Structure 1
Amino acid sequence: MSLFPFLSVLWISLLTFGEGYYKSFGRFNHVQDVTHRAAFDELWFTQKLDHFNGADRRVWKQRYFLNEAFYKPGGPVFLMIGGEGPANPAWMQYGTWLSYAEKLGALCFMLEHRFYGKSHPTADLSTDNLRFLSSRQALADLAHFRTVIAEDRGLSNRKWVAFGGSYPGSLAAWFRLKYPHLVHASVATSAPVHATVNFPEYLEVVWRSLASENAECPLLVKKASDTLLERLKDPKTYDNLTKDFNLCSKLQIQTEMDSAYFLETLAGTFMDVVQYNEDNRGFEGATGTNITIKVLCSVMGDASLGEPYARYAAVAHLMMDTFSMKCLDASFSTYLRDMTNTSWEGPAAGGERQWVYQTCTEFGFYQSTDSPNQPFTGFPLVYHVKQCADFYNVSAEQLAMAVVQTNEYYGSYDIGSSRIVFPNGSIDPWHALGITLDITPDLPAVFINGTAHCANMYPARSEDLPQLALARDHIFLLLQQWLKQ
């Protein structure tokens, strides 16, 4: 949302792949009424495999979608950038970007990211083939798509606007940065523009976000997590732990990776609920949107359930019931097997194997417990980094070098561009790596108090915070102004 470990391990497939990881914009219901009956066919674009090797002539088919409902001759072209999951045509039917399109007479495209969804550039997901998966290749895909489509449809003189949220938000900003002659403006929502191997600030924001509901809530979570860690030290407790958390198989802790994966899996509930707190994702088929920070803190504060440890287990059961899960698979050996399956039919081929590869070779973003100012324990940076070696044979040194190169290439927080707006929410842990203050008048930030990940991109509701509605309106006014330039 998730970015990938923009999402934690446990709920990643449930919260992200079922809905398709596209962040779009929602605002006016009448726009949704106009378009919801339309059928959006899958369209295919012939794309280059390697944009940076002129001798490589290989091509593949990239999926995209088109909405012409609001286009008026001479209007702009909107390009929604795909992310680390399948393209969901629901975003061609709903969203504020469509209300913007209606007001501005825009033609709307959505391009699926290479290696995700049905956009398969290679025969499998072997590590050798994944070398063609990177943000730089994805940006070159966007540039080639924009150039060819513009020529074919007579849109070369139209002003193109890029939209994206989370990792696609970063791509939207970087598309404007690296290809300013092709894209006139960008809306880069919840975009982590700074790469970092270690990202303990994520869990620090989780603490603050839980505390914003109830000051005792993160303290209770920490007490439960600490108790759990202590019990893991004694193998005699494993049978009870297996029963308490309804594990699919008896808990086996043979390595530190086993322990860390189990602890991260349970923490993942809180991480994901905070990241998507009260986001309006139901229209895209997302389940569990009723589980909010308020709900989690209510369970953690319920003394009738017993000690904090028992309440922690109750949260896990609540999530399993919500997602109709018979049991919880918290086995690292199963995860390792799934993540090293290179088939397009493999259990991690929905995007997890691909996205973790990108974190190992470009971004890091590892949400470690290496900070005292957060509620969890037991999954330090070394646990995350070792996965890069286990899954892709990428060393810690190679990862560190890759992150440095990413920041050098894109500029980190110092983006030297113009006409990019950076919306972020205060509840969202990812705002810690984003732009939350104006860089220049032409690189403004929109920081929305009380909202979570990509909140401004979802359809509007009557219960939306006033500042969220104002943020959507402000972004529209910026686009209106920039399209006159």
Structure 2
Amino acid sequence: MLIYPFILSLYPCICGGVDLFCIKNGFKYLNDEINSEPHLEEAVTQTKWLKQKVDHFNTTDQRNWKMRYFERLSYWKLNGPIYLFLGGESPASARWAETGIMYELAKETNGALYVSEHRYYGESRPLNGTDAEALKYLSARQALADNAYLLKYLKRFSNYKRSKVVVVGGSYSGNLAAWMKLLYPGLVDAAIASSGPILAKTDFYEYLEKVSDNYEQYGTKKCLRTIKKIFKRYDKLMQSSEGIKILKNEQNICEKCDMTVPENQYLFFSYKVGEFMSVSQYGTTERIKSHCKSLQNESIPRIPLEESARNNCTCYDFDEMIEGFYTEGNEWIISWMYQTCNELGLFATTSSDEQPFTNNMPLKFNIKMCHKLFGPDFDEERVNRGVAAVNDLYGALNPNVTNVVFSNGDLDPWSTLSILEDLSYDAPAIVIPRASHCRDLYSNRDGDIEEFKEARKDIKNLVKKWIGAKLET
């Protein structure tokens, strides 16, 4: 539910001069969906603030800022566990304390519910600004230290002295859950790491390979061949002025948009590929098959007219893609871009031949975006250094952890960077058939396949076993 630009999905929606940038980012998508869940009872979650250090690793830096978090104590009883949902790459949502697997665990074990907001997202901003200097204190390690301080602060209260601590996260915050258990084993007793791309990687070509596999396995018989044909045609039309004229007419692209510019072509292909990415990352096998049928019924797939109307567009302008980030309220997007450029990589590219989308989303455009956003130091070598440092610090696909459950849906392209086999008896992996990104974090719904329900039950029982609570039968 990870990632691009999580990327947790770089999926731009461009309208009339690049005034709108829609990035289907994993944690943002999760929060939007959890916020749409029906309210089963009156909300009793409180907003709290905690003073944090700007730099936890510099004893001479005494600057502070206020971190936002949410608290719910409706079900807590003395010595009950503390559950902390770790904020990820978007503003945090109190709804994680009101529905979902963590809420159910707290209700069943008399636990206290907390949700933290990640530094530099939402209202939790150590420093203002969107340049590299302002964002230099944005990292997973600093965010983990923020959450560790929050837990230590809570444990100071006598009522929590004997409380076990469980951290929960999905997508990038799934990484954080596992890494909290790694760096703070004496503080954290158990962790749920859902759909976390534990392996940092610059060129994340496996993402689109998985998308291709999904459409081949669950789509209609000729679907993959149809997709290849569509994108080869796009690629061919881009090669000539006459072809670009045809493409502009078909796709309702603004006349002033110069589609000979490589960056604009990259943005067009990102948009078109994004539709397939979204279905794979958040959809179902039925949605994949339905998407395939729609492709076969339409000889020239176009940008949907209803989307154009919704965005108040008369045409689509794939132009000046960097400037599109600088719209009011998009600070969290810049923050996530900084994390991908500085330490995580996770750039979904078309560099593999095992995908049908042609090679029009190469790594160089992601690196160019890093360069333009954060300065000339952010070249490919800089990104690779950051990725290597993260993998060295946290152990890549072999973190030395116990009492962590790694869960993934086997449709999810992010699972290709996650842990899919047990690391040990106390660090198991659960792979949910026909499931997408972070679906296990929600409560059971009507229509959920049995594999979802069983996986959620297994995850809860693992946590209960690790904290000494009564298991669900």
TM-score (norm 1): 0.88
Alignment deviations for residues 333-375 of structure 1 (CA, whole Å, 9 cap, x no partner) = 1x21133x4xxx73531x2111111111111111110111112
State the distance in 1 between where 2:91 and 2:357 align.
31
Query: Do structure 1's residue 104 and structure 2's residue 109 form an aligned pair?
Result: yes
State the distance in 1 between where 2:383 and 2:280 align.
28
Alignment deviations for residues 23-82 of structure 1 (CA, whole Å, 9 cap, x no partner) = 9999x99xx62xx32143422111111111111111111111111111121110000001
State the distance in 2 between where 1:236 and 1:258 align.
17
Which residue of structure 1 aligns with residue 451 of structure 2? 467
Is the 8 Å Cα contact of residues 2 and 414 (structure 2) preserved in structure 1? no
Is the 8 Å Cα contact of residues 203 and 367 (structure 1) preserved in structure 2? yes
State the distance in 2 between where 1:93 and 1:38 align.
7
State the distance in 1 between where 2:119 and 2:252 align.
37
Query: Do structure 1's residue 355 and structure 2's residue 350 form an aligned pair?
Result: no
Is the 8 Å Cα contact of residues 23 and 165 (structure 1) preserved in structure 2? no
| Inter-CA distance 321–468: structure 2 relative to 1 (3 Å threshold) | farther
Which residue of structure 2 aligns with residue 237 of structure 1? 243
Matches within 5 A, 1:436-455: 436-455=420-439
**Uncovered stretches (5+) of structure 1, i.e. residues with no partner:** 280-290
- AA paired with 1:40? T
Q: Which moved more, 1:47-56 or 1:232-241?
A: 232-241
State the distance in 2 between where 1:84 and 1:319 align.
29
Q: Which residue, 1, 5, 9 being the options, matches 1:7?
A: 9
Alignment deviations for residues 374-425 of structure 1 (CA, whole Å, 9 cap, x no partner) = 1212111122222211211201111111111111000001111100000001
Which residue of structure 2 aligns with residue 299 of structure 1? 294
- AA paired with 1:9? Y
Q: Which residue, 362, 382, 385 being the options, matches 1:398?
A: 382
Which residue of structure 1 aligns with residue 153 of structure 2? 148
Matches within 5 A, 1:209-224: 209-211=214-216, 212-224=218-230
Matches within 5 A, 1:106-185: 106-152=111-157, 154-185=159-190
**Uncovered stretches (5+) of structure 2, i.e. residues with no partner:** 14-20
Alignment deviations for residues 72-127 of structure 1 (CA, whole Å, 9 cap, x no partner) = 21110000001111112222222121111111111010001011111111122221
| Inter-CA distance 362–19: structure 2 relative to 1 (3 Å threshold) | closer
| Inter-CA distance 271–384: structure 2 relative to 1 (3 Å threshold) | same
Q: Which residue, 345, 348, 352 being the options, matches 1:364?
A: 345
Is the 8 Å Cα contact of residues 412 and 435 (structure 2) preserved in structure 1? yes
- AA paired with 1:261? L
SS of the counterpart of 1:463?
A: coil
Q: Which residue, 86, 101, 104 being the options, matches 1:81?
A: 86
| Inter-CA distance 5–323: structure 2 relative to 1 (3 Å threshold) | farther
Query: Do structure 1's residue 194 and structure 2's residue 194 form an aligned pair?
Result: no
Which residue of structure 2 aligns with residue 55 of structure 1? 60
Which residue of structure 2 aligns with residue 226 of structure 1? 232
Is the 8 Å Cα contact of residues 422 and 445 (structure 1) preserved in structure 2? yes
State the distance in 2 between where 1:19 and 1:400 align.
26
Alignment deviations for residues 120-173 of structure 1 (CA, whole Å, 9 cap, x no partner) = 111222210111100011001111111112214642331100000000000000
Q: Which residue, 323, 330, 333 being the options, matches 1:337?
A: 323
Is the 8 Å Cα contact of residues 79 and 161 (structure 2) preserved in structure 1? no
Query: Do structure 1's residue 264 and structure 2's residue 251 form an aligned pair?
Result: no
Q: Which moved more, 1:256-265 or 1:429-438?
A: 256-265
RMSD between superposed Cα atoms in Å: 2.5
SS of the counterpart of 1:118?
A: coil
Which residue of structure 2 aligns with residue 381 of structure 1? 363
Q: Which moved more, 1:168-177 or 1:454-463?
A: 454-463
Q: Sequence identity, in percent? A: 30
Cα offset, 1:325, TM superposition: 5.4
Query: Do structure 1's residue 252 and structure 2's residue 258 form an aligned pair?
Result: yes
State the distance in 1 between where 2:158 and 2:64 align.
21
Is the 8 Å Cα contact of residues 218 and 375 (structure 1) preserved in structure 2? yes
Q: Which moved more, 1:241-250 or 1:95-104?
A: 241-250
Count of aligned pairs: 455
Cα offset, 1:327, TM superposition: 5.3
